[in-house]
Amino acid sequence: MNSKLENIKKIKVSKPLKLDCGKTINNFPLAYETYGKLNANKDNAILVFHALTGDQFVTGTNPVTNKEGWWSTAVGPNKAIDTNKYFVICANVIGGCMGSLGPKNINPESKQPYGLDFPVITIRDIVRAQESLLEHLGIKKLLCATGGSMGGMQLLQFCSTFPDKTFSAIPIACSVSHSAQNIALNELARQAIMADPVWDKGKYFLKNVQPKNGLAVARMVGHISYLSEKGMQEKFGRKLQEKADYEFSFNADFQVESYLRHQGYTFVERFDANSILYITRAMDYFDLTKQFKGGLIEAFRNQKTKFLVISFSSDWLYTTKENKDIVIALNASGADVSYSEIVTDKGHDSFLVNEPEFLKTLRGFIDSMYEKFKNEKRI
């Protein structure tokens, strides 16, 4: 895996970045991937922000895991975000483990991996770290920026911090701050990792191991929260896993158990436990309202960006109500905002799976924005 990591695209961010925690990072790596071609007018660039366990490999085959990119349903040739037409960019978040600076990188001071010496980062830090990438690619203004879940949070922060860097924006299934329930679920994931003795206060890298059991449980928690009660019932119900009757044991008798175990144990192959701690913390700390002293309207003041907010009816992690709060704030600040609620049983995961109504909406918005952006540039 490490040799593959060396071949992925990276820039060295030389501009010092003062983090929200007070510490400064500089000369740090930022890994990214692009799809499609940037046209001569440089008006077809779309920036994608990935979610908690995502990475820069949006579509095609992920060269590290050899699996399909996490948003292959929406991004690719002739897909809703058509890479024949658009230039799609995605960066690995700092704190992550797919090439950007994260807790498994070497700390120049100790000459050992950071582990828990890695500074606690925020969504704002993650977003600021990506500014240099746009400079590096020579893009002054994006056609569109989008992201679901934590990707949506990054997007809202991006639009607030850099109000003129994108022509349009599509926040999907996200919120302006984590609810108590979201923080609780993230805490459950963190506690699962920290309860694994292999974790060893984050120093597992010294023995070249991963706290696999804890990390797998953390992933299982996530997977439950990404599905809806109805969707889960329809998919699994009480069906047994390749057996006629109960085994009277604690093996995975039920299909749903088998599914969770599979998700958990394939995840540990590609993700770093400390990264989960850091990124979930960044999500919990995210509070756009707090940044603007309670006035969310201020966060979107003077926005020229055209927004489309999308929520899913069965998403209980980032509910329709939370997404509507974004719309209300955008409205109140006079921003150009559209909103659509997609009716589906597929829960929070809806944006990652084949959900035709969602994909149709995504395509329609991006294509119409492209026409508008081209006209604006011409004038």
Partner 1 sequence: MKKEFKVIAELIPKNTRVLDVGCGDGSLMNLLVKEKNIEVRGLELNTENVQKCIHKGLPVIQGNAETELHQFPNQSFDYVVLSQTLQAFYDPNKVIKELLRIGKSVIVSIPNFGYWKVRTKLLFFGKMPVTKTLPNTWYNTPNLHMCTIKDLFNFCDEKKIVIKKAIGINENNTSLINKNNLEIRNLFSKLGIFLIG
Q: Residues touching partner 1: how many (CB under 8 A)?
A: 26
CB of residue 31 vs partner 1: minimum separation in angstroms?
33
Question: Is residue 371 within the footprint of partner 1 (CB under 8 A)?
Answer: yes
Cβ-based nearer residue to partner 1, 244 or 379? 379
- Return the axis-axis angle of helices 150-161 and 273-285, rounded to nearest 10°: 50
Round to whole Å and give the CA distance between 162 and 81.
23
Give the CA count within 13 Å in the CB-facing half-sphere of 238.
3
Query: Please, which residue, 18 or 377, has the CB nearer to partner 1?
Result: 377
Q: Does 169 bind partner 1 (CB under 8 A)?
A: no
Interior angle at CA 27, CA 24 and CA 28, nearest 5? 85
251 binds partner 1, rule: CB under 8 A: no
Task: Yes or no: say if 45 and 137 are a contact pair by the CB < 8 Å rule.
Answer: yes
Given a contact cutoff of 8 angstroms between Cβ atoms, the answer to whether 241 and 297 are in contact is no
Q: Does 324 bind partner 1 (CB under 8 A)?
A: yes
Minimum separation from the CB atom of position 311 to partner 1 (A)? 9
Considering only 68, 131, 187, 367, the residue that binds partner 1 (CB under 8 A) is 367
The residue (of 109 and 371) whose beta carbon lies closer to partner 1 is 371
Tell me how far, at minimum, the Cβ of 327 lies from partner 1, in Å.
6
CB closer to partner 1, 55 vs 322: 322
Instruction: Give the one residue of 41, 107, 233, 368 binding partner 1; rule: CB under 8 A.
Output: 368
State in angstroms the smallest separation of the CB of 335 from partner 1. 9
Of the pair 205, 365, the CB lying nearest partner 1 is at 365
What is the x/- site pattern for partner 1, positions 325-364, by CB under 8 A? --xx--xx-x-xxxxxxxx-------------x--xx--x
- For the bound state, the minimum distance from the C-beta of residue 310 to partner 1, rounded and expressed in Å, comes to 10
Contacting partner 1 within 257-316 (CB under 8 A): 306, 308
* Residue 211: partners with Cβ closer than 8 Å, 6 or more residues away: 193, 196, 197, 198, 199, 200, 204, 273
By beta-carbon proximity to partner 1, the closer residue of 118 and 307 is 307
Shortest distance, CB of residue 345 to partner 1, whole angstroms? 15
Catalytic residue positions? 149, 315, 348
Give residues in contact with partner 1 (CB under 8 A): 306, 308, 324, 327-328, 331-332, 334, 336-343, 357, 360-361, 364-365, 367-369, 371-372
